[in-house]
């Protein structure tokens, strides 16, 4: 079945550092790819998404590019802030409103 693998955390960075969180997937067909973020004590919320190969999703300074050739969707941000401290989940869905398949999450801590 479909699966998502993301780098294990926790990741600790200093403020203004560059962030990369790796995500690779295994899926049949052409899935849509997502990054969700979970701030402490809250539910998940969509950060960005990409629905086809070479699409770039972006939001709040975060970016991820759908790379079909490497089956990857790595999350990047050029300069992290303390407020970016959260757990980040990579996910995929095959089509329409079908269940999301999540990675295990990566906890990011940004220190001032």
Question: Which residues are near another protein by CB under 8 A?
Answer: 32, 34, 36, 42-46, 49, 51, 89, 93, 96-97, 99-100, 102-105
- Of 29 and 96, which has the nearer Cβ to another protein? 96
Say how far apart CA 11 and CA 20 lie, in whole Å.
10
Output 63 or 102, the one with its CB closest to another protein. 102
CB of 49 to another protein, least distance (A): 7
The whole-angstrom separation of Cα 83 and Cα 16 is: 11
With CA atoms as reference, report the closest residue to 66 among 35, 104, 108, 100: 35
Considering only CA atoms, which of 80, 50, 82 is closest in space to residue 67?
50
76 within 8 A of 19, measured Cβ to Cβ: yes
Q: Which is nearer to another protein, 17 or 22 (CB)?
A: 22
Q: How far is the CB of 14 from another protein (least distance, A)?
A: 26
Q: How far is the CB of 108 from another protein (least distance, A)?
A: 15
Task: Name the residue nearer to another protein (CB basis): 74 or 89.
Answer: 89
In whole angstroms, how close is the CB of 84 to another protein at the nearest point?
19
CA distance 2 to 41: 29
């Amino acid at each position: 079945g479909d699966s998502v693998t993301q780098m294990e955390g926790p990741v600790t960075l200093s403020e203004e550092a560059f962030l990369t969180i790796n995500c690779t997937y295994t899926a049949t067909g052409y899935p849509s790819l997502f990054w969700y973020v979970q701030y402490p004590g809250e539910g998940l919320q969509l950060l960005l998404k990409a629905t086809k190969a070479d699409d770039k999703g972006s939001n709040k300074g975060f970016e991820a590019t759908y790379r079909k050739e490497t089956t990857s969707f790595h999350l990047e941000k050029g300069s992290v802030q303390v407020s970016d401290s959260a757990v980040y989940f990579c996910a995929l869905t095959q089509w329409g409103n079908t269940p999301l398949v999540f990675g295990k999450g990566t906890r990011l801590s940004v220190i001032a």
